[in-house]
Amino acid sequence: MLQCLTNKTWIVPHAVMILLLSTARGADLAGCAQPPPAEQNLVVAAPIKVWGDAIPLGNGLTGGLLWGEGSLIRLSLDRGDLWDERPAKAPGKEWWKRDTWAKGPADSWDSAYRDLYPSKLPAGRIEITLAPGQTVKQFELNLASAEGIARLDQGELKAFFSATAPVAMLRITGAAPAGFVIQPPTAIAKLGYPKAQSGREGEAFWYIQEGVDGFKYCVCAETRKGNGETLLAIAITSTVDGADPLALARQRCSDAIHKGYAALLKPHQTWWTTFWGKSSVTIPEDKLQRHYQFVRYLYGSGSRLGQPPMPLQGVWTADNGNLPPWKGDYHNDLNTQTTYIGYQAAGNFDEGNAWLDYLWRLRPTWQAFARDFYGTEGLATPGTMTLAGQPLGGWGAYSLSPTMTAWNAHLFYLHWLYTSDDTFLRDRAYPWCRDAALCMKGLLKPGKDGILVLPLSSSPEIKGNYYGLQPNCNYDIGCLKMLFVALAEMGTVLGKTDDVKMWRELDKGLGDHHVGPDGELWLDAKIPLRESHRHQSNIIAFHPFNLITIDGSDTDRQRIAASMPWWSLPGKPGGKLGTRGWVGFSFPWVACACARTGDAEGALQHLQIFESRYTTRNGFNENWPGAYCFTLEANFLAMQAINEMLLQSWSPTPGTPDTGVIRIFPAMPWSWHEASFCELRAEGGYKVSAKRENNTTTWFKIVASKRGIVRIRDNFGGRIPKWNVSGVKKNGINYEIELKKGRAVEAAFDKPSAVPAP
């Protein structure tokens, strides 16, 4: 293939030259989707005296927090489906059937939430007293193997919640511990439950907690000593698993003890290697790199297909002697939706599908709720709800706002966009979203000007959570338009012509967003945002809904330019209004919006503030610094903000199929001179890998999951890509090429000699 001229100058054919160049640029990314290296592990110095700083472990169904000080080590326990589902006493059973939404907010909504139940249930803890003279020095989370480690004066304790078996295993090397104790949760007494019954036989010990309506659950442990180590197996069972949870727990512990730590660890490690192998990200900021890896770990340890999806605190309920904060519930006020916002780009679809599978399974429950409470067909998810999907009440401005359902529907749409799975589209995404839209359609009525409006409208968490905004507020318009536009796109792919016409008419019937004279998005038609506000409700059309974009019309760009300064300004977090009213999730959510609208420095600034001020020693989000009052959504928003900085793929014409554009390194701060990612996912089902050196893209590769046209934004600073294939064409500001399923397009650029000036 190489040709030699008489003067010994070698001529390399174009295709071969590009292949060699691209291979050189991408060689060190080959096989890069590997488990995190040890230097990215979470390390926390002892003592850990508060559960909120503990090492989190889990397998989706059960979880634990490893912490302690001196000679005492604690493992706080949790199981996702331990729930007391009794209706609240205060307003009476099925209160939502009497207080229909159209009547306006009722006192019973708040009183229902203030009752002790329904509530998630705590599972207590295991306490380990070390041998005399032994103390704990350091805790560590091995991200690659999902093992918790407590380093002792002599020896160590290791623990994992098996990814392939319904048990947790601990191994302590060195002197045998002085004792093990199971502490049942004392807060259970507040619910009127009888005292837990404890027992012991041989090396096994346990407690059984009786609940209501025949429900029981059991925590059991068994030990074995020998060969210089002590093993401890733990199982959490309930009557959901079988009629005799104690017998089942004892059997699971016995089986685990006989297999041993190493035998159970091997398939567990294999599962985690596969999990980490889906994608990888490398950025030059160590703290944010570590946080990204930690949050991705939370998907693997807290969310599994077939298990309960993550509520506010996942499988790491607060161990503070009380019932779970906020009932340990599912808040659809942004919490569930943004908890499941980062898995798509990372390619961890099974973990994300845990939420969608749950939403699908409870479809009949929410069809009944739409009928009973809203008086419509279709379905509606309560704004706050139990594991069984029952409404909990609370602040009416979000706990029973119908448009929260539309936001949940958006996750079905995103899952389809990122997987390009048309079977999922046909069998799950379209039917669920259609049901949600039928509920919205039933509530919308023409106003005096002919615009479709809801009877009531609220913007979540603004002005003390009240229904004082004029329908429709911009939050409701954003949610509704997103749903109708998404259904029009999905219906087009499925050939549902009549449906598509209906969705487009409903979208048009909502009218425009409410803006001020300069294009600023207001709260509603009359009220601009003029107070520091923690929830991006008025600009939700920017992110994550992608209805107003920098690639859209001049009007779109004017609205972004007029609205974003109220949220973010150079060197001023919180923009013109500051951050006084913000909580943890506000910072990474604004970082996402900054990245989506092209403000890389703003994205970085808000991420840095979040990581430094709003996370505990173990990385958990704190809503308020020092309060040890955490929920998970902010962590996942931070992960997604980094995804958005590295790769974006949204369509400049939302609602039109197959119009996404891949943008590589679209929001990179100047200080991020080098970065790379391997097999992040883009809309359209593409796998994308890329490398950045000296502040410029030097290589990328895109692999198609099905036949189609891939569009790549030319944000390469005037440099011409060296393609590995022919047929790439320039169309305006994008490169385009048609790829068959499994085929790849790859390009390389010369590396700049130095970092350019800022």
The confidence score (pLDDT) of residue 626 equals: 81
The confidence score (pLDDT) of residue 145 equals: 98
pLDDT tens digits for 418-441? 999 999 999 999 999 999 999 999
- Say yes or no to pLDDT of 578 above 90: yes
The confidence score (pLDDT) of residue 630 equals: 87
- Say yes or no to pLDDT of 678 above 90: yes
CATH class of the structural domain 41-82+121-280: mainly beta
- Say yes or no to pLDDT of 57 above 80: yes
Cis peptide before 538 (omega within 30 of 0): no
Q: What is the mean pLDDT of residues 449-474?
A: 84
The confidence score (pLDDT) of residue 91 equals: 65
Output the six-digit token pair for 643: 């995804």
The pLDDT confidence band at residue 27, using thresholds 50, 70 and 90, is very low
The confidence score (pLDDT) of residue 106 equals: 58
Distance CA 71, CA 133 (A): 8
The pLDDT confidence band at residue 17, using thresholds 50, 70 and 90, is very low
> How do the domains of the chain map onto residue ranges?
3-30+662-748, 41-82+121-280
- Say yes or no to pLDDT of 1 above 80: no
The confidence score (pLDDT) of residue 108 equals: 65
Q: What is the mean pLDDT of residues 547-560?
A: 98
Distance CA 544, CA 557 (A): 16
Q: Cβ atoms within 10 A of the Cβ of 518, count?
A: 10
Which has the closest alpha carbon to 277: 490, 31, 104, 499? 31
The pLDDT confidence band at residue 637, using thresholds 50, 70 and 90, is very high
Q: Looking at per-residue confidence, does 363 or 31 come out higher?
A: 363
pLDDT tens digits for 185-213? 999 999 999 999 999 999 999 999 999 99
- Say yes or no to pLDDT of 666 above 50: yes
CA distances from 30 to 414, 643, 663 (A): 28, 20, 21
Q: What is the mean pLDDT of residues 505-525?
A: 98
Average pLDDT, the chain: 93
The confidence score (pLDDT) of residue 336 equals: 97
Q: Cβ atoms within 10 A of the Cβ of 516, count?
A: 13
The pLDDT confidence band at residue 23, using thresholds 50, 70 and 90, is very low
Q: Which of 89-103, 219-233, 252-266 bottoms out in mean pLDDT, i.e. has the lowest?
A: 89-103
Spell out a b/e string for 351-360, using b for 16 or more CB atoms within 10 Å of the CB, else e. Answer: bbbbbbbbbe
The pLDDT confidence band at residue 32, using thresholds 50, 70 and 90, is confident
- Say yes or no to pLDDT of 592 above 90: yes
CA distances from 627 to 50, 52, 616, 631 (A): 11, 10, 10, 12
Distance CA 648, CA 660 (A): 9
Distance CA 449, CA 467 (A): 21
- Say yes or no to pLDDT of 146 above 60: yes
- Say yes or no to pLDDT of 18 above 80: no
- Say yes or no to pLDDT of 376 above 90: yes
Output the six-digit token pair for 622: 């704190």
Q: What is the mean pLDDT of residues 375-391?
A: 95
Backbone angles phi, psi at 135, to 5 degrees: -135, 160
Q: Which of 27-36, 255-264, 621-630, 699-708 bottoms out in mean pLDDT, i.e. has the lowest?
A: 27-36
Q: Cβ atoms within 10 A of the Cβ of 325, count?
A: 18
In this prediction, what percent of the chain has a pLDDT beyond 90? 86
Which has the closest alpha carbon to 638: 572, 584, 677, 579? 584
The pLDDT confidence band at residue 89, using thresholds 50, 70 and 90, is confident
The confidence score (pLDDT) of residue 112 equals: 84
The confidence score (pLDDT) of residue 107 equals: 61
By three-state DSSP, how is residue 66 classified? strand
Architecture of domain 3-30+662-748: Sandwich (2.60)
The confidence score (pLDDT) of residue 400 equals: 78
